[in-house]
Structure 1
């Protein structure tokens, strides 16, 4: 058993390192993000982050339920009023040419794998709610928000990798990146710790403004260099 556990950890570490190296070369490699995350699932920090989440009763309830939403009907969402979460989500994905089901599916076998999958499924909704852009700097700003809300190990890895890559390849953007990460973390810390608890897909008609108000999400101020 010890040897099997050690072999598994070694495989996880190799998968994580390969994914991190790929991301440092090209942050747009989504598959590498999933490789890194799945390589981290057996480290001690992964279940600890889930225990942190489950300390919030609303989040503990959705984890216990294993709630996952069906595939969204984009045409139906585009018929909702402008400003509603459903319309803004569908409009954003359509204009960007994104597939709402692009994320890698994994079998839900425990709390850790459920949290992985639910965050992947609702990732773009978090972008809408926080107002964080989908460029590299915006993604890392969202990771700051996620870190405050979830203590997710993947957030730390991506933040560290993003800082290192910026330092080495485009240090002129370091101030902007640090600003977005700090702003994202403060937003996540000030907001109610319930974003993961939300069944967004059952309330598409609710306005983004209402969601933000209910959850205490304050939009990030515009960066001024």
Structure 2
């Protein structure tokens, strides 16, 4: 478990200056995307793409949040989010119709846990240098809210749903890798399944919807969980996607299962792991 109690976190430097400054390397990103298309189970390729197309503003965004009064309060209240999200017994005691219940429904239906994502990331990062600073909380938080975004936006874990979540996330955390993978994945779907499904429009819509929503990783999740999910969406300015569902409807009309579109698991889900590198 990667949790660091806040009392210890406060004694750590805000940012370890030994962290490398990543360079933007589009050619490297494209090579890894081609490898990902050959074998969609090779999730380490997603990590390499995010490494090649970093969000250069993440340091400044994280430090602004971590030094704000509100940020310090959220870190103190929620030092390790997976422990909160995986306590389904406690979440189920919250009101019916709440975000907590919707989150439990989604995770149980999909056979997922928040800690599972942490453990997968640990495998990715096992040979990477370890840095001990408060910024690590911010990086991990980007990973830990990923499945919550699915719940709030209504995007599924199919390939198009993941591409749309990537585009949505780009507008909150503008790593070029979000759009790079999201749009290239969409183009590959259009190439693989010839139809009039509005695939590219769905991804573009996800990007637009994300602009209206404040960064989820900077919200108090424990405050949002007991609230009715529709109220949470109103608070965060999340409106329903249209083109994503229209694409699903068109694929089903021509006999294509949107959840088995490319014959394997979705190719983009593990971007959440890469963001925390």
- The interval holding the TM-score normalised by the smaller chain is 0.7 to 0.9
1:212 is matched with: 233
**Alignment partner of 1:200 is 2:221:** yes
Could you tell me whether the CA contact under 8 Å between 2:145 and 2:216 is conserved in 1? no
Aligned to 1:24: 37
How do 1:68-217 residues align onto structure 2 when only pairs under 5 Å count? 68-71=80-83, 72-103=86-117, 104-105=121-122, 107=130, 109=132, 114-172=137-195, 175-191=197-213, 193-217=214-238
Structure (1/2) with the larger helix percentage: 1
Contact 1:59-1:196 at 8 Å conserved across structures: no
Given that 2:160 and 2:186 are in contact with CA atoms closer than 8 Å, whether structure 1 keeps it comes out as: no
Mapped partners of 2:237, 2:193: distance in 1: 34
Q: TM-score, normalised by structure 2?
A: 0.62
Distance 1:202 1:26, change over 3 A: farther
Instruction: State the TM-score, normalizing by the size of structure 1.
Output: 0.74
Residue pair 2:167, 2:178 contacting (<8 A) in 1 also:
yes
Cα distance in 1 between the residues matched to 2:198 and 2:56: 32
Q: Are the structure 2 counterparts of residues 78 and 64 from structure 1 closer, same or farther at C-alpha, using a change threshold of 3 Å? A: closer
Higher relative contact order, structure no. (Cα contacts within 8 Å, ≥ 6 residues apart): 2
| Deviation at residue 212 of structure 1 after TM alignment | 0.9
Unmatched segments (≥5 aa) in structure 1: none
Would you say the 8 A contact 1:74–1:90 is kept in 2?
A: yes
Matched residue pairs, number?
A: 210
CA distance in 2, matches of 1:98, 1:168: 30
Cα distance in 1 between the residues matched to 2:34 and 2:191: 14
Q: Aligned partners of 1:79, 1:195: CA distance in 2, in Å?
A: 23
Contact 1:142 1:184 survives alignment (8 Å) = yes
Kindly report the root-mean-square deviation, in angstroms, between the aligned alpha carbons of the 2 structures.
3.6
